[in-house]
Amino acid sequence: MADNVQVAVRVRPFNEREKHLQSTSCIRMTKETQQTVITDPETNAEKAFTFDYSYNSFADPDDLDHASQDTVWDDIGVKVLEHAWNGFNVSLFAYGQTGSGKSFSMVGYGSERGIIPRASEVIFERIEANTTDISFKVEASMMEIYNERVKDLFNPALDNLKIRDHPRQGPYAEGLTRSAVSTHKEISRLMDAGILARTTASTNMNATSSRAHTIFQIISELNQASGKVLEKVSRINLIDLAGSERAASTGATGSRLKEGAAINQSLSALGNCISALADLANGKKKVLVPYRNSKLTHLLKDSLGGNSKTIMIAALSPASVNYSIKNQAVVNEDPNQLLIRQLKEELKALRKAMMENVGSRPNSREYGDSAVDDDGFCPASINPAREKEVASIKEQLEEHQRLLRESEKTWTERLKETEELARKREEQLKMLGLVSNTSDLKSKSMMEPHLLNLNEDQLMTEKLLYFLNFGDNKVGRIDAEEEQSIVIGGLSILKEHCVITRKKRTDSSVAANSTEHDEERQLDEAIAEQDVLLIRANPGAKVYINATMISEDSEVQLRHCDRLILGNANVFRVVIPSARSANADPEELASESLFDWQLAMKELNSSQIKANLELEEMAEKEKAEMDARVKKMEEM
């Protein structure tokens, strides 16, 4: 396959659901030939596909064929970094159905770090090891495309960015935050901030991250003093594509079906672009590559058929054929001063075009000074027949002025803006009752009781910590009349949803009207819990503890590792550190992760099925009693 576009396939191990269903593997991989063979479970017919890399992460870790995170990094991650270091744009796509392991390859979980954290660390290791006269600047941005809307994850208030085209910069999201970074830890913090933004937003929208494309971009700039200033600018695009599911298989309806349609439309547009590029590579003439058919392909135009080297990781199963797409990649050599000069020339041309469409500058005595805008033009002087054309030119003029202002900012100004944006994000999190990734967060979480979010997506689970203060902690929406201690959103969340009270254990222990729950789990009463948490649901509020819905105004005690569901989409694990055994070892702490989103959903589904069966039995019993009474009346 062409060196500029490479495709890798990675098969993950069975998940718990697949193990429960006693699934068998229908995929076989040959490491020597990088061949992936898929067997039809019904006919046993085999289809073989050859990729640049076939990663068998299904194999036992001790097996020589097993592909670990290190294997993927050595083959792909290092290559991504080398291309970027040499001045190329590089794009790494992760594609596959929801839960196929895309995020694991890209980001990783815990000690199993993925490509993004490893790449950012190595970038700064190289920068720190540099002893030449070369200087480096690194920036990062992160965006999400959800239902064809582009959202800035570093500044979530910007949730519908326009896609613009620039003759030299290519397609870009207007106003997207580019945060200056000076260490790999700062990149990690920014990524955590972006994931927090995704997590809170997905809950409020009753969505999951699998319904949005995520693009994390690292922009590196190299300055070399060798007689003249030379700037090499390269972009590393790390793209986690939304899960592609068939509507019939997901049972989606309504807004969920529309979400799926938007996802599949953009992925279809991506496939059409790759197909068109393949036709061009095969020598076909007059082939139009439909980049503008979706926001995703429009933004990634240069990542697909332009100045880029591209790698795709297809997770779980191969979804594309092996085309040889020959893009001609060129090294980026774009001096910043040249860009500024070009922007100024373009501004001059746009002003000239404005003058030609409007005519001479308006006379202030005729229209009044207040009628003249910031660019010296008066809307009242425009010919109505040309208003649309003038409006378009004026919009371009304003955008070029913004780009010029951004280009002329110093590095110190960019670093200061990054710090200011981080401060604003911190304030927003505090308003929601959240604590962000501060240095003392880990130690505080080992001492203070809190609610820990659970999510279907491993990348977004256990990211939000809501610490509980002594006294009443009110939980509700941001638009509640009274300020809430913990602010959440989503379907079925009331303005004032519930109250969680924290107090110290006394001799009487728990209020007399509290009820016990989760009878199947035997708690060691010998352990003296220092903190007591009681929850009270407000009228009409949906509050489930271990799948049991609590009644209004009843006070129920929360136990360590309880699964708490508020409304339809907010799922938490209750964490009470004082309930752990003294000097809890890592194994005990790790076992708490078993009380996860899947368990909470399994409990809830089982509870609902049981409730439905009880209703059916009650209805049948009432019907039988009615039939008996009718029969008795007929016999009289």
Show the tokens assigned to 260.
């799926």
Q: Flag whether 141 is marked binding.
A: no
Q: Is the pLDDT of residue 388 over 80?
A: no
Three-state DSSP at 311 gives strand
Instruction: Name residue 165's beta-bridge partners.
Output: 171
354-387 confidence digits (pLDDT tens): 566 555 444 444 444 444 455 555 554 555 555 6
pLDDT of residue 498 exceeding 90, the answer is: yes
Q: Which secondary-structure segment (H or E) carries 631?
A: helix 597-635
Please tell me what DSSP assigns to residue 159.
-
Q: Could you tell me what percent of the chain has a pLDDT over 70?
A: 68
Pairing of strands 90-95, 229-240: parallel
Q: What is the pTM of this model?
A: 0.64
Query: Is 103 within any annotated ligand binding site?
Result: yes
Residue type, 308: S
75 compared with 316, residue with greater pLDDT: 75
| Residue listed under structure tokens 């326009």 | 162
Residue 100 annotated as lining a ligand binding site: yes
Kindly tell me if the per-residue pLDDT of 1 is higher than 90.
no
400 falls in which pLDDT band (50, 70, 90)? low
Q: Annotated binding residue at 101? A: yes
Structure tokens that stand for 118 in this block: 């490893």
540 marked ligand binding residue: no
What is the DSSP secondary-structure string of 290-310? Answer: -GGGSHHHHHTHHHHTSS-EE
Is 501 in a helix, a strand, or coil?
A: strand
Tokens standing for residue 43:
């006919």
Residue 96 assigned to a binding site: yes
What is the bridge-based pairing of β-strands 570-575 and 450-453?
Answer: antiparallel
3-state secondary structure of 534: strand
Is 98 assigned to a binding site? yes
Q: Which of 217, 221, 224, 199 is nearest to 209 (CA)?
A: 199
State the Cα angle at 102 between 27 and 214, rounded to 5°.
150
C-beta of residue 156 within 8 angstroms of C-beta of residue 212: no
Rounded to an integer, the average pLDDT of 130-154 is 85
pLDDT surpassing 90 at residue 70? yes
pLDDT of 508 reads 47
Per-residue pLDDT tens digits for 536-563:
999 999 999 999 999 887 899 999 999 9
CB 192 within 8 A of CB 437: yes
Distance CA 622, CA 626 (A): 6
Residue type present at position 515: T
- Domains in the chain with CATH codes: 6-322 (3.40.850.10), 442-585 (2.60.200.20)
**Closest C-alpha to 264, from 97, 425, 417, 399:** 97
Q: How many CB atoms lie within 10 A of CB 460?
A: 23
